[in-house]
Amino acid sequence: MTSTSKAATTAGARRRAAARKAADPHMPTIAEASNRFNQTHSYHEPGSRSALNFHFTGRLNLIARRYRTRLNEALKTIGQTQARWDALFWISVSGDDATQSELAERMGVEGPTLVRMLNKLEQEGLVERMDAPGDRRAKTIRLKPEAEAVMARIAALTRPLRDEIMSEFTDEELMTCLSVFDRVMTRLERE
């Protein structure tokens, strides 16, 4: 990213933050909200591990939501969404073997939601459904060649956004975060 485009991206982030604050000046920042909540609700002993867990998971949730919002703003310029990107990603890595229900479970969406999305992706010529071997009722999904161009456009558009957001962090900090996230995900996926 050039210094000019980086400055423009940073300026855009500042404008969005100022607009949010101007829209409702009474809304606290994430840190302020967390502190206010802890002062008015004594669900966790201040300084306890439970309080730390509460702060961590709360921030993780908000970060995911904010990132998804920013990503959708960027993807809207090419007629895509983060949810469609997720679907294309999971179809791509499934090796043409995943059924619709398996994809819905992996993506964390309801079956009918995925079916509607797949219908649109199929109408656009990006995916195709095939009968699953051994089960006439089930369908497997695979990408059509045209999907590669769409995924490349998504990658080209989202790379600068990620680079800008993560620019202040060292590789070591990111690797530590990834390690923690991987361990959290492992615990969440245990059944």
In a domain, 24, yes or no: no
Q: Higher model confidence: residue 170 or residue 20?
A: 170
Kindly compute the dihedral angle of the four CA atoms of residues 121, 153, 14, 21, in this order, to the nearest 10 degrees.
0
User: Considering the domain boundaries, does residue 115 fall inside one?
Assistant: yes
The verdict on residue 189 lying in a domain is no
49-75 and 30-40 are packed helices; what angle lies between their axes, rounded to 10 degrees?
150
**CATH code: domain of residue 130:** 1.10.10.10
Give the CB-side neighbour count of residue 152, counting CA atoms within 13 A. 5
Find the domain containing 141 and state its range: 82-145
Residue 132 lies inside a defined structural domain of this protein = yes
pLDDT, tens digit, 9 for 90 and up, residues 9-63: 556 666 666 665 555 667 887 777 777 777 777 787 888 898 889 889 988 998 9
Q: Please indicate, yes or no, if residue 184 is contained in any of the structural domains.
A: no
Residue 190 pLDDT level (bands cut at 50, 70, 90): confident
- Within a domain: residue 117? yes
Q: Give the span between the Cα atoms of 173 and 129, in whole angstroms.
A: 41
DSSP 8-state secondary structure symbol assigned to residue 99: B
Q: When comparing pLDDT for 22 and 186, which is higher?
A: 186
The H or E element spanning position 56 is helix 49-75
The shares of helix, strand and coil residues in the chain, as percent rounded to the nearest 5, are 70, 10, 20
Position 86 in a domain: yes
pTM over 0.85: no
Report the number of distinct structural domains present in the chain: 1
Which pLDDT belongs to residue 79? 92
